Chains A and B, each alone.
Chain A
Amino acid sequence: MPGIVELTNVVKDYPLGKLSVRALHDINITIGEGEFTAIAGPSGSGKTTILNMIGCMDVPTQGTVSIAGTITNNLGDRALTDLRLNRIGFIFQTFNLINVLDVYQNVEFPLLLQGKLSGAERKARVNAMVEKVGLTKQIGQRPNELSGGQRQRVAIARALVTNPAIVLADEPTANLDSKTGHAIIDLMSDLNRNDKITFIFSTHDPKVMECATRLVKVEDGRVVG
């Protein structure tokens, strides 16, 4: 059975003035549906770059990236954006909620972009999602009225509300204290186990790595185990 994410001989160069910096050297990763994968490695090893490729925010310089059967290499901005909207959920290190919108509206945002659901369906979906992350009480609050952990829960709800094939999280606990960070990882882990959601997250925290069902170690742009 082919993986939901397949990186084959992926090379990524970043231009740096007249030269270019090779961030990834010949990466091969396959991740199956329902896995709870941690991408681990020291700072600058290429974790974020890998997530960018998987998240369809960038395309590789060489090699192929396939997401849920779609090869991204030759896709334009519009098609990549559509893929992100419909297939992928994002959780960021810095939460990245839209400050002017409240909890409900932040979670609703991707659904509005999709424009697929009716108002009633949307409302039901958003409320269920907010309840799942335990923020029903805070549903009308703005991000700046929430704690870091609460904000990341909102981000998780927002990432899951569209029923994506994959949820990506770039160092989701880096900005949280270890207790809150663990609670977030536990929540993700529960969602993976109960709802069979595929999670791929990066981290350099050994305790967080332990929770993963699959561990991909990177160093200097290479997979090391």
Chain B
Amino acid sequence: MIAGLMLMLRLAIRNVRTHMVKNSVIGVILVFGTFVLVTGATLIGSLDKVMRKSITTSITADLQAYDADARDPLSLLGDMNFGGSDNGEIPDYSAVQDTLAKVPEVRTTLPFGLGNATVFGANEVDRSLEDLRAAVKAGDQARQTMLVGRLQRIAGDIRPQLDLSGTITADQEKLTEDRASLDRVISADFPAQFAADPVATMDWMDGAVAPLATDGRLNYFRLLGTDIPAFESNFPRMQIVHGTTVPPGERGIIINESSYELMIKHPIARELDLIEKEIASGTEIGTSGTLFDRVQRMSRQYRRVLYQLDTEEVGALEPKLRAELKDDKSDMVGLLKAFLAVSDDNFSERKAFFYSDIAPYIRLYDISVGDTLPLRAFTKSGYLKSVNVKVYGVYHYSGVAKDDAAAGAYSLVDMLTFRDIYGKMTASQQAELSGIKASVGAKDLGASGGSIEDELFGGGGSIESTVASTEALTGLDSVTFGRAEEREITTFTQDEVDHGVATSTAIFLKNPEQAEVGKTAVEKALGDAGLKLTVVGWKQASGFVGQAAMVIQLVLFIAVLVLFLVAIVIINIALVLATLERTSEIGTMRALGAQARFVTWMFVVESQFVGLVSACIGATFSGLFVNWLHTVGIPAGNDFLSVLFGGKAMYPEQSIPSMILGIVIVQVVSLLATIYPAWLAADVPPVVALQGKE
């Protein structure tokens, strides 16, 4: 037996050496196949590992549990419905918390509440009027004069735009009225009119002039309500970059840095940042049409700077701009336009100038730490609700670019604020409501349906609670955050955080490597407690991003599969040809007394030998390649990949199981490729030995 095997091995080695060309072709295919397979498996394994680390430590935790009856699957990163997903609800988080506290695999849990809210950004008329009210209140005469002057300049600038739009608008009556309003502000005796009755004039401007300045932006926030202090300690990659965290028991929001940079930053500053990024990636303003257009658009937005400048500030900035541009003829509008029309040659200089000399005079961010934001959102019952919440800080995830939109740009709010927006009540509110119901008589209240809750606890402005459609939202008079009705910041207890509605529960395991074991234990505990929740791992919980990872794996899998199918076909053909060539030799062996199965085994041993040698060479190459990648790193290249990699580059780790897997698969592939030729060879009759021909 051993002797027979040795004989086959000897024959195999001799044959391989004799038929070098044929075996080299097969060998090269298998070496390449093994290389792709092992490298692919290693990279996927590494990617899976880094992604899991990156995503579980930023947002998903090890597991997420959410309503089993949810309409949409939970997708914390990259929601396909753009925030419109309905993940159902967990009516009382504390029930889940208490159940899972008893599961030995679980380290801790956190309540999650997903929601969306909008904040109207102020336009420059709003902002100036707001300042003016403060100046009137304070009796600051000089400042009033300065701000009235600024409003007149803005009106003067809007007037020609109105004439331009007059040619396309149908409502001529309103147009005439708007022109008259602006003309009144521009007129020389307007400061006197204002002085005569400041409050009435300002009220009139609120209604008649402010809507004509159209640059107020609608900021859109994706909110994640959670136990913020616990979130911070359990997601170590989260870092506060401006301000502070929300103190325990306080209401507040911490804004995601990418939202802060992309939505809240001054549009000109943001454009400059984005253009710089484009230039850094090798695009040139001079040669790229789209980038050139972008610069042109930015230049046309000079008003966004101009409107924020006081007379004094214009005075201070003008000479600096003149010197910078070497232009002593143009007025401030011309100077700003020219300044913003950047080119490849002067871009970095202009950007530096913008930040050092212009930025100090303008609001670089629409919202600052310490502001109170009127978050507006539709509750579950369809009512628009406004909740004031204090901005405590700005956070980001370490290793992710700061203006990265792909990082699941959630701003964090406390659970109570989330519940206000969500439209559900706390237990004490519920108790209060039932008290009222009892005293008023439930029947009457029942008739007015769900709106009773919102009327009682809606907070915010009275106009909102009756508005129930998105069109109505955009049609609303813009209420700016600065002027929003101050809402008393209430404090709350941990008990209030834990008792109440959540949209999902983040679950941290003691051993994150054993996610499947943990998942089974959690599912069992929830099932035993009668909680109908779906438990998912990070890949599913992260939604689009996790699915993208699965797609990458699938693509690689298919590529390898195709490669090996091709390999099987080629090897098969090569071996069949070899069999035909070796018919006489096989016949001789059979004549000399070799059994048919000996011939079969001879072929199998031979192809397994070629397979093993090739697979080892391929795996070695792959090992060297991965080792090299480990030292140089695979650059993320774009934002999306940097989220997946959890940083700017991925450093893949060598994986022995991947190598073994690769070698085993290649052996199976060569075995499959040998079946037909081996069967053919075993069928060669011994008589061919006597039929001449060597």
A binds B: yes
A residues in contact (CB < 8 Å) with B? 48, 51-52, 55, 57-58, 77-78, 81-82, 84-86, 90, 92-96, 98-101, 105, 109-110, 112-115, 119, 158, 170
In the bound assembly, the distance between CA atoms of A93 and B690 in angstroms comes to 7
**B50 smallest CB distance to A (angstroms):** 50
Candidates B10, B590, B690; contact of A92 at CB < 8 Å: B690
Q: Which residues of B contact A93 (CB under 8 A)?
A: 690, 692
- The answer to whether A90 touches B689 (Cβ under 8 A) is yes
Cross-chain pairs A/B with CB under 8 angstroms, 27 sampled: A51-B690, A52-B690, A55-B591, A57-B591, A57-B685, A57-B686, A57-B689, A77-B596, A81-B686, A84-B686, A85-B592, A86-B593, A90-B689, A92-B588, A92-B591, A94-B692, A94-B694, A96-B585, A96-B694, A98-B589, A99-B18, A99-B585, A112-B6, A113-B598, A115-B1, A115-B4, A158-B592
**B598 smallest CB distance to A (angstroms):** 7
Assuming A100-B11, A115-B4, is B592 touching A109 (CB within 8 A)? yes
* B483 contacts A by Cβ under 8 Å: no
Q: Which residues 1-23 of B sit at the A interface, judged by CB distance below 8 A?
A: 1, 3-4, 6-7, 10-11, 14-15, 17-18
Q: Which residue of A lies closest to B596 (CB)?
A: A77
- The answer to whether B593 touches A84 (Cβ under 8 A) is yes
**A51 smallest CB distance to B (angstroms):** 7
**A14 smallest CB distance to B (angstroms):** 11
Given contacts A85-B594, A95-B694, A109-B592, 15 further A-B contacts (CB under 8 A): A51-B690, A57-B685, A58-B687, A81-B593, A81-B595, A81-B596, A81-B686, A84-B593, A85-B592, A94-B584, A96-B588, A112-B3, A115-B3, A115-B4, A119-B3
Q: Which residues of B contact A105 (CB under 8 A)?
A: 10
Q: Which residue of B lies closest to A105 (CB)?
A: B10
In the complex, per-residue mask of B309-336: 1 if CB is within 8 Å of any chain A CB, else 0: 0000000000000000000000000000
- The answer to whether B7 touches A112 (Cβ under 8 A) is yes
Q: Which residues of B contact A57 (CB under 8 A)?
A: 591, 685-687, 689-690
**A125 smallest CB distance to B (angstroms):** 14
Q: Which residues of B contact A55 (CB under 8 A)?
A: 591
Q: Which residues of A contact B17 (CB under 8 A)?
A: 100
Q: Which residues of A contact B693 (CB under 8 A)?
A: 94
Q: Which residue, of B588, B591, B690, B692, has the highest number of chain A Cβ atoms within 10 A?
A: B690
- The answer to whether A170 touches B690 (Cβ under 8 A) is yes
**A23 smallest CB distance to B (angstroms):** 12
Q: Which residue of A lies closest to B17 (CB)?
A: A100
- The answer to whether B689 touches A85 (Cβ under 8 A) is no
User: Taking chain B's interface residues, is the majority helix, strand, or loop, or is none over half, making it mixed?
Assistant: helix
Q: Which residues of A contact B593 (CB under 8 A)?
A: 81-82, 84-86, 110, 113-114
Give the number of residue pairs across the A-B interface with Cβ within 8 Å.
87
In the bound assembly, the distance between CA atoms of A119 and B686 in angstroms comes to 28
In the bound assembly, the distance between CA atoms of A82 and B6 in angstroms comes to 20
- The answer to whether A52 touches B588 (Cβ under 8 A) is no
In the bound assembly, the distance between CA atoms of A117 and B589 in angstroms comes to 19
In the bound assembly, the distance between CA atoms of A103 and B692 in angstroms comes to 21
- The answer to whether A110 touches B690 (Cβ under 8 A) is no
In the bound assembly, the distance between CA atoms of A225 and B592 in angstroms comes to 30
In the bound assembly, the distance between CA atoms of A112 and B598 in angstroms comes to 12
**A152 smallest CB distance to B (angstroms):** 12
Q: Which residues of A contact B584 (CB under 8 A)?
A: 94, 96
Q: Which residue, of A93, A95, A105, A113, has the highest number of chain B Cβ atoms within 10 A?
A: A113
Q: Which residues 523-550 of B sit at the A interface, judged by CB distance below 8 A?
A: none
**A31 smallest CB distance to B (angstroms):** 19
- The answer to whether A100 touches B18 (Cβ under 8 A) is yes
**A73 smallest CB distance to B (angstroms):** 17
Assuming A52-B687, A77-B596, A115-B3, is B591 touching A101 (CB within 8 A)? no
Q: Which residues of B contact A92 (CB under 8 A)?
A: 588, 591, 689-690
CB-CB nearest 8 A-B residue pairs = A85-B593, A100-B14, A96-B588, A94-B694, A57-B686, A112-B7, A84-B593, A57-B687
**A146 smallest CB distance to B (angstroms):** 13
Q: Which residues of B contact A85 (CB under 8 A)?
A: 592-594
- The answer to whether A98 touches B585 (Cβ under 8 A) is yes
**B588 smallest CB distance to A (angstroms):** 4
Q: Which residues of B contact A113 (CB under 8 A)?
A: 4, 7, 592-594, 598
Q: Which residues of B contact A114 (CB under 8 A)?
A: 593
Q: Which residue of B lies closest to A174 (CB)?
A: B692
Candidates A58, A78, A95; contact of B595 at CB < 8 Å: A78
- The answer to whether A101 touches B14 (Cβ under 8 A) is yes
Q: Which residues 398-426 of B sit at the A interface, judged by CB distance below 8 A?
A: none
**B374 smallest CB distance to A (angstroms):** 87
- The answer to whether A81 touches B594 (Cβ under 8 A) is yes
Q: Which residue of B lies closest to A100 (CB)?
A: B14
Q: Which residues of A contact B585 (CB under 8 A)?
A: 96, 98-99
Q: Which residues of B contact A170 (CB under 8 A)?
A: 690
Q: Which residue of A lies closest to B1 (CB)?
A: A115
Q: Which residues of A contact B15 (CB under 8 A)?
A: 100
- The answer to whether B687 touches A90 (Cβ under 8 A) is no
Q: Which residues of B contact A158 (CB under 8 A)?
A: 592
